[in-house]
Structure 1
Amino acid sequence: MAEVKPPRGTGRAGAVMWRSVTGSFELEAHELQVLRQVAVVADRIASLDGVVDRDGVLLGDHAHPALVESRLQRVTLGRLLAVLRLPDLEERRPQRRGGFRRAYQLRQVMGDGA
């Protein structure tokens, strides 16, 4: 498997995420585009967490805006990773629902004669 370097400008957190995924899986071009966004979001989370570490979780009586945005970025990160549909390398638990690719393949096979 050839090494795929992180995109130029990727920060530390994004590069760690990039290397973790590309070191274990061979991705197609469209999946690399999603992984680029994963790296951007990972860097953004690290930056926001640095602001919260510096300023604290509260700004006056309310949650620090960087804390709120960090939470939203974590949701985005989870969704982007779900789009990649990376298998669990340790196979601790089986997948509970069928994948989209499998469903499409079944329709394709059954679609001609059904």
Structure 2
Amino acid sequence: MTRTPTGLDKPGQRLWKSIDGEYELAEHELAQLLEACHVRDTINTLRDQVRSDGTMIGSSQGPRLHPGIVEIRQQQLALARLLATLGVPGLEDDDLPASKGVRGVYKGRRA
């Protein structure tokens, strides 16, 4: 188990600990995991902003869907792909379907 990197918020730290404690990762996989943790934090930040602003926001053309909602979906896809390359399932609170990855299932190496 490696040390949790600095600069991660609680969701990213939780993701790091849950995967790093369960799998033995190579250096390039640790880099992917770190990126996934940052994406997880970004999703959390965007959700907080949408919760604060509401799903509909005002614009010069009238009410419209909060742009954060679209970005959350994009970040969720990025997270799912990063986790798929590591061969680990998504987090329950991400509400993502089980992924077989972009090019199929990737198997992680259990510690």
Larger Rg: 1
* Runs of 4+ more than 3 Å apart: 97-101
Corresponding residue number in structure 2 for 1:8: 6
2:12 alignment partner AA: G
Go from structure 1 to structure 2 and tell me whether the alpha carbon gap of 1:99 and 1:54 turns closer, same or farther (over 3 Å shift). Answer: closer
Figure out how many residues of one structure are paired with residues of the other and give that number: 91
Superposed displacement of residue 6, structure 1: 1.9
Secondary structure of the residue aligned to 1:26 is: coil
Taking the aligned partners of 1:100 and 1:43, their CA distance within structure 2 comes to 24
Instruction: Name structure 1 gaps, 5 residues minimum.
Output: 88-94, 102-114
Residue 86 of structure 1: CA displacement?
3.0
Give the direction of change, closer, same or farther, for the CA distance of 1:63–1:84 in structure 2 (3 Å limit).
Answer: same
* Structure 2 CA distance for partners of 1:99 and 1:65, relative to 1, 3 Å: closer
TM-align CA RMSD = 2.2
- Distance in 2 separating the partners of 1:71 and 1:5: 30
Unaligned runs of 5+ in 2: 90-99
Q: TM-score, normalised by structure 1?
A: 0.71
Aligned twin of 2:72: 70
Q: Give 1 or 2: higher helix fraction.
A: 1
Task: After TM superposition, list the pairs within 5 Å mapping 1:1-114 onto structure 2.
Answer: 3-60=1-58, 61-86=63-88
TM-score, normalising length from structure 2?
Answer: 0.73
Alpha-carbon deviation of 1:100? 6.9
Structure with the greater relative contact order (CA < 8 A, sep ≥ 6): 1 or 2? 2
Q: Which residue identity does 2:52 align to in structure 1?
A: R
